[in-house]
Amino acid sequence: MVIFPNCKINLGLHITGKRPDGFHELETVFYPVQLKDILEVVTSTTQHFQSTGLDIPGNTETNLCLKAYHLLKQDFPDLPSVHMHLHKLIPMGAGLGGGSADGAFALRLLNEKYKLNITNQQLIEYAAKLGSDCPFFIMNTACYATGRGEKLNPIQLDLSNYHFVLVNPGIHVNTKWAFEQITPTPSRKNLVSILEQPIEEWPNHLFNDFEAPISKAYPEIEHIKTLLYQQGASYAAMSGSGSTVFGIFKTRPSNNIHSAFNGSVFITA
């Protein structure tokens, strides 16, 4: 069975407090974007994980797809051994949640393939054990997120008539360092109310707290954002803690847009 984990962008991102457990309180809106990985799972006599496409750094055993399998195996001991093949297309460490998507979609695929009859709410609870962003990919619809990002409320936001350009400059931003650059402050204005305004108003009101300090350290981020506006984006911002910058366009940009940027450029419908 094959499934296609998609990525996400953050529409606004505010760090509102520091928690006793060391994590941060945040406020953001997650929005799914159709740049996708490919995950295949087949029953096997031995447990095996294989990846192709973009290189995945680190130990294979820490991959969230495998962690998802072992998490379910604890509660479903009859779950057979599987061969997992992940073809990686979503850049990693890029603010797009690609790894989180892979883990969450692995839960979804295993549940469907082996008829485990796990409810959506239970899948969300399993996903939360994999990582803060993972529950979003079970719902996979526009959500207002608080807490560590795991408290999700679906919202009415439809950008299906727009086109997204994602530009990944290949800069690795250390997440711990990124959080150290932020002084948590209470939310200034509710993100959902901002998103209810015309998209032309978003540049004046919709901000990512990480963007200013990261752009100061990596000026290419701001340069990409400027170029996206010059190319006709209605709104552009950095996603998550970077380094991917996205632009939202009313009309599909020409493929010639690739020549305007240094880095990987993805255009999605």
Task: Give residue-wise pLDDT tens across range 66-76.
Answer: 999 999 999 99
Q: Is 78 a catalytic residue?
A: no
Q: What global pTM score does this model have?
A: 0.93
Q: Which domain holds residue 85?
A: 2-154
Q: Is 18 a catalytic residue?
A: no
* 68 and 37 co-located in one domain: yes
* 11 and 143 co-located in one domain: yes
Last residue of one domain, picked from the residues 134, 154, 174? 154
pLDDT digits (tens, 9 = 90+) for 40-91: 999 999 999 999 999 998 888 889 999 999 999 999 999 999 999 999 999 9
Candidates 8, 36, 67, 88; catalytic one: 8
* 225 and 242 co-located in one domain: yes
The count of structural domains within the chain is 2
Q: Which CATH number is 239's domain given?
A: 3.30.70.890
The torsion angles phi and psi of 10, rounded to 5 degrees, stand at: -100, 125
* 17 and 147 co-located in one domain: yes
* 73 and 204 co-located in one domain: no
* 24 and 115 co-located in one domain: yes
Candidates 37, 133, 209, 225; catalytic one: 133
* 42 and 148 co-located in one domain: yes
* 128 and 169 co-located in one domain: no
* 232 and 117 co-located in one domain: no
